[in-house]
């Protein structure tokens, strides 16, 4: 079976983002961008399934501007077989991304779609679940273990009180949690080879998806700043401050 992996180009997780002074968003010009960390985990898991003989082809898909090609090339350098860029310069909300993916699912007929559990820029955590609804498949979110056999996937999920194992019928949508695997690095020879692999570049308009925004961002602001604290010299002083000044003991 084929596996589609959705990858997103986001501001690198180590960058401390700055809110624009006019309140229209955060500064993304001249900021280091990378593949969303959860998506690296998704790519890794798809590759492992191919290496185990469960999958035959891994297709990396991204939706965004032309630069998102780099993110797809990274996935290919990790080992994905080919890529699809659905190109748009506009911001795309999770619902529209899910619709684009469902159009690609209809074309490619994968047995599994693996996505990260959330993107670290909008922190929405919606696309996988939305896609599952649109295509009428089961969804297993926050996967920390995935076993595929006999047309079913047994997925161990990270839930609030511990772990939960569910079994879903394939085709299915799975979203990855941090502990699913340790993503591999792309080696230099593979990065070079990735440049010659197939990457379809398709304008969003070609997929017939209405990607109009449903949410309007009125403003983006800095979170309230904490006032500077003090350093104490000893445990005794700390206890005293917590009791008398802060009143939390």
The residues near 181 (Cβ < 8 Å, ≥ 6 apart) are: 41, 44, 45, 48
Q: Are 152 and 138 in contact (CB under 8 A)?
A: no
Cβ closest to another protein, residue 24 vs residue 56: 24
Candidates 53-61, 73-81, 93-101, 189-197; binding stretch for another protein (CB under 8 A): 93-101
Candidates 73-81, 105-113, 121-129, 194-202; binding stretch for another protein (CB under 8 A): 121-129
Contact between 93 and another protein by CB under 8 A: the answer reads: yes
51, 70, 167, 200: which one binds another protein (CB under 8 A): 167
Contact between 31 and another protein by CB under 8 A: the answer reads: no
Report the C-alpha gap between 207 and 224 in whole angstroms. Answer: 41
Q: Are 26 and 61 in contact (CB under 8 A)?
A: no
Q: How many residues bind another protein (CB under 8 A)?
A: 82
Candidates 52-60, 87-95, 104-112, 196-204; binding stretch for another protein (CB under 8 A): 87-95
Contact between 178 and another protein by CB under 8 A: the answer reads: yes
Specify the pairing of strand 139-149 against strand 152-159: antiparallel
Cβ closest to another protein, residue 85 vs residue 148: 148
Q: Are 75 and 47 in contact (CB under 8 A)?
A: no
162, 188, 189, 196: which one binds another protein (CB under 8 A): 162
E-strand spans in 1-119? 2-6, 9-11, 33-35, 57-64, 82-87, 112-116
Contact between 148 and another protein by CB under 8 A: the answer reads: no
Contact between 101 and another protein by CB under 8 A: the answer reads: no
65, 67, 70, 122: which one binds another protein (CB under 8 A): 122
Contact between 32 and another protein by CB under 8 A: the answer reads: no
Name residues contacting another protein, limited to 196-235 (CB under 8 A).
214-223, 226, 228-232, 234-235
Residue 144: count other Cβ atoms within 10 Å of its Cβ: 15
Report the C-alpha gap between 94 and 90 in whole angstroms. Answer: 13
Contact between 244 and another protein by CB under 8 A: the answer reads: no
Contact between 124 and another protein by CB under 8 A: the answer reads: yes
Cβ closest to another protein, residue 17 vs residue 192: 17
Nearest to 104 by CA among 141, 75, 63: 63
Strand partners, 115: 175
Contact between 111 and another protein by CB under 8 A: the answer reads: no
Q: Is the dihedral of CA 156, 157, 163, 165 positive or negative?
A: negative
């Amino acid at each position: 079976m084929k596996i589609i992996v959705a990858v997103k180009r986001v501001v690198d997780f180590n960058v401390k983002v700055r809110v624009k002074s006019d309140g229209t968003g955060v500064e993304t010009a001249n900021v280091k961008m990378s593949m969303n960390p959860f998506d690296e985990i998704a790519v890794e898991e798809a590759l492992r399934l191919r290496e185990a003989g469960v999958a035959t082809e891994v297709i990396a898909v991204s939706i965004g501007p032309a630069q998102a090609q780099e993110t797809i090339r990274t996935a290919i350098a990790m080992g994905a077989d080919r890529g699809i860029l659905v190109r748009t310069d506009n911001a795309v909300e999770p619902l529209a991304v899910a619709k684009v993916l469902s159009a690609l699912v209809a074309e490619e007929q994968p047995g599994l779609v693996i996505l990260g559990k959330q993107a670290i820029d909008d922190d929405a955590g919606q696309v996988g679940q939305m896609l599952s609804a649109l295509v009428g498949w089961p969804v297993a979110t926050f996967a920390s273990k995935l076993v595929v056999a006999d047309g079913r996937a047994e997925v161990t999920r990270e839930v609030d009180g511990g772990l939960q194992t569910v079994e879903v019928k394939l085709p299915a949508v799975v979203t990855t949690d941090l502990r699913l695997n340790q993503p591999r690095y792309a080696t230099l020879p593979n990065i070079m080879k990735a440049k010659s692999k197939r990457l379809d570049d398709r304008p969003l308009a070609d997929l017939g998806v209405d990607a109009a925004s449903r949410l309007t961002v009125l403003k983006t602001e800095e979170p309230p700043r904490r006032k500077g604290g003090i350093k104490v010299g000893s445990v005794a002083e700390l206890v005293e401050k917590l009791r008398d000044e802060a009143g939390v003991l």
